[in-house]
Structure formats: C-alpha cells, structure tokens
Amino acid sequence: MNSETLSTQPRTPTPRTLVIASRESRLAMWQAEHVQAALHKLYPSCDVKIVGMTTRGDQILDRTLSKVGGKGLFVKELEQALAEGRADLAVHSLKDVPMDLPEGFALAAIMEREDPRDAFVSNDHDSLAALPAGSIVGTSSLRREAMLRARYPHLQVKPLRGNLDTRLAKLDRGDYAAIILAAAGLKRLGLGARIRALIEPGDSLPSAGQGALGIEIRADRADVAAWLAPLHDDATAKAVEAERMVSRALGGSCSVPLAAYAQWRDGALHLRGTIATPDASRVLDAAGMSPAASVDDALKLGREVSDALIAQGALDIVRALAEAAQAEGAPNTPPGAAQGGAQPGRTDEADDAPSDAR
C-alpha cells in the first residue's frame, strides 16, 4: 500500500474488544455494522462495539461542502476519537476521505467494492434521456452537475440537500423529476428497487473511491492493522489507489468537478479520469492502463493519467475554480491552488451527507 495504508501484519493475540467510530447517519451505521459483522465472523469471542458520533459536516444543513470546509468535516471527529483512544477504527466511504490523511493516521484496509455507478432515481421516468425538456434533476455534486450539463443541456440541474432518506422524500413530493445518487448507498440500505436505471461509467464517470469502504486507524496501532488485514481486498485497493492519485495530483477539492474510475479487464487495470468546469463548457478526459502488479504500479498509472490531464490544461480549471472559491470565502480552497499548483484535496461529494449529493 502507499504511505497512507498500513501493510504491516505482525502476529498478535486475538482481540478481546474493538470499538468502531461511526457517523450516525443510516448509511454510515450500515457501513459500521457491516464491518462489525465481518469482525465478529473473524473473531467470534471479540466484543465489537460501535460508537456513533455527529460530525461537524452532519450539523451543517444549509450550505454545500465547498462553502464550509470540505469533506474532512465528516472525518475529523472520528479521527479525534481514534487519537484519544476512544475508538480503535473508523469506517468511511472512501470518497469521503481526504486524499492525504493527517499525520498519525492510516488506512488499514480497503474492502471489496460495491457497485461504483451512479443511479438514476425517478418515479415517472425510466432514464435521463426520457426526461422532457425543462425537467428538474437534483444533485449537489459538481461532478454530476457537469455531466448533466454536458450531456443533457435541456434539463434543469438544482441542488439536492439532506441525507439519503430526505433526498428520496423530496423526490416523492415532486420537488424534482429525478435525482442522481450513488448506487452503492441505495443497494446497501435495501433501496435498490428505487433505482430506475444505472448510469454506466462511460456516461457518468464515478468519483474516486466511489462504492468502496476504507477502515482508518491510528498509524501506531500495528495490532489493529493485523486484525483488519483479512478484510483487505487487494484488487479494490489497487483500483481506488490509482483513482485517488488522480485526485491527489490535481488537488481535487469540493469545488472541482473531478472523476476517476479504474476497473479490471483482462488482467489489467484500466483507469479513466475527467475534470470539467461546472457548466461543462470545458471537459478534459484521459485514460491509461497497466498490469498493476503492485500498488506502486497503480499509483504510477494514476500519475500518468493525471499528467495527461495536466497536459490538456487541467490546472487551469483547478486554478480558476480555486480563485472563484476564494472570492466566495470558501475555507477549503487548496493552498496554492489559486497559483495553479496541484495540492492534496478531496473529491466533490460525500456519501449520505447533508450538504452534497450522494
């Protein structure tokens, strides 16, 4: 794994107790319970507990993440619990995790990926192509907004706030003709029947890490890393590490419509990355492939794709959006981005978040 992922697997005794820190949203608790069940199966005598927490990101209901500090708002309280020893691990949707973790923390395991695609949800229409001109489509993801504006300029795109249940309720009361959500969250909560159509990556490229779960621990907890090692899925890890490298290299923040998705085909890892302006007046695209025998190979692939985007002018988009965010007073503008430098950042949306669309 790279520097943010532990691979040390020392021989350690079976754990007696493990405490999982989790946000309290329904989807976040499902994710924590999923890991809890997996740990119970591995260590039947271990008492695996879940401690629910309300994060700063959960408390902000009226503004998008790009205006209030980014998706790190959804992990800071969980990391504080890890640092203080109140929890042993925290479970995250990987696309909610900053590209570079704070010093002292590491991703100990990346679990097998759920469906990474976006989902079209509507009560009256079968697909985006079937929506009449002027129909209102809900999403607060800049990535999805750019996709919609590029492919369906005749539709209206409007913000969609609230957790997953709130967003579905807004659709049901007629505020939107359709909404775009992540398929993984709907399936995990048993709401797969609400999906009218899955949007293929060729039409809506997923966010880096979409559909994958990451388990974060303190970097000095080699014992916890060893206990979590059986949950790690190598194929998923290589794919999402390549994706996250694209975002890391481009300084992807909540104000940048950036996507990166890698999938295995015929024994090779195929990676595609895109970056756009929110109005889709400019869309850049690059792709590459590698046998990816190691995580280092996957990271190299991610860098090659990000370099191809940079050669097309990706940093011009990053710089312009950073300047716009600074002008609006957004606190999560990547340092130096206004001067065109690529800085570590976050992708454009958060799972089950009050402010950004899943």
- Which residues have a catalytic role annotated? 96
Q: CB atoms < 10 A from the CB of 186, how many? A: 22
- According to the model, what pLDDT value does residue 13 have? 85
Measured between alpha carbons, how far is 65 from 330 in angstroms, rounded to an integer? 9
59 shares its domain with 104: yes
> Same structural domain for residues 185 and 254?
no
CATH number at residue 24: 3.40.190.10
Q: What is the pLDDT of residue 76?
A: 83
- For 237, the domain range is 233-346
Residue 338 maps to which CATH number?
3.30.160.40
Over pLDDT 90: what percentage of the chain?
A: 72
Measured CA to CA, the distance from residue 47 to residue 50 in angstroms comes to 10
**Confidence band (pLDDT; 50, 70, 90) for 350?**
very low
Q: Can you say whether the dihedral through the CA atoms of 20, 76, 188, 353 is positive or negative?
A: positive
Q: Does residue 216 sit in the same domain as residue 101?
A: yes
User: Could you give the number of structural domains in the chain?
Assistant: 3
What average pLDDT score do residues 299-318 get? Answer: 97
Residue 207 lies in a domain: no
The answer, yes or no, to whether residue 139 has pLDDT greater than 70, is: yes
How confident is the model at residue 99, as a pLDDT? 83
Cα–Cα distance between 202 and 192 in angstroms, integer?
A: 21
Please say if the pLDDT value at position 107 is more than 60: yes
* Together in a domain, 108 and 160: no
Strand, coil or helix: 351: coil
pLDDT > 50? residue 341: no
Residue 352 lies in a domain: no
pLDDT confidence bin for 331, thresholds 50/70/90: low
**Pair 6, 108 in one domain:** yes
Backbone angles phi, psi at 11, to 5 degrees: -75, 120
Above 60 in pLDDT, residue 356? no
Question: What local confidence, expressed as pLDDT, does residue 56 receive?
Answer: 54
Q: What is the pLDDT of residues 5-31, one digit of tens each?
A: 554 544 668 999 999 999 998 999 999
Question: What average pLDDT does the segment 18-47 reach?
Answer: 96
pLDDT in tens, 144-185: 999 999 999 999 999 998 888 999 999 999 999 999 999 999
Confidence of residue 46 (pLDDT cuts 50, 70, 90): very high
When mean pLDDT is compared across 2-11, 121-130, 268-277, 282-291, the lowest value belongs to: 2-11
Residues 99 and 72 in one domain: yes
- Note the pTM of the prediction, 2 decimals: 0.85
314, part of any domain: yes
Q: Any idea which of 63-67, 315-319, 338-342 has the lowest mean pLDDT?
A: 338-342
What residues form DSSP beta bridges with 357?
A: none
Asked if residue 224 and residue 190 are part of one domain, the reply reads no
Question: Which of 171, 183, 166 lies closest to 137, judged by CA?
Answer: 171
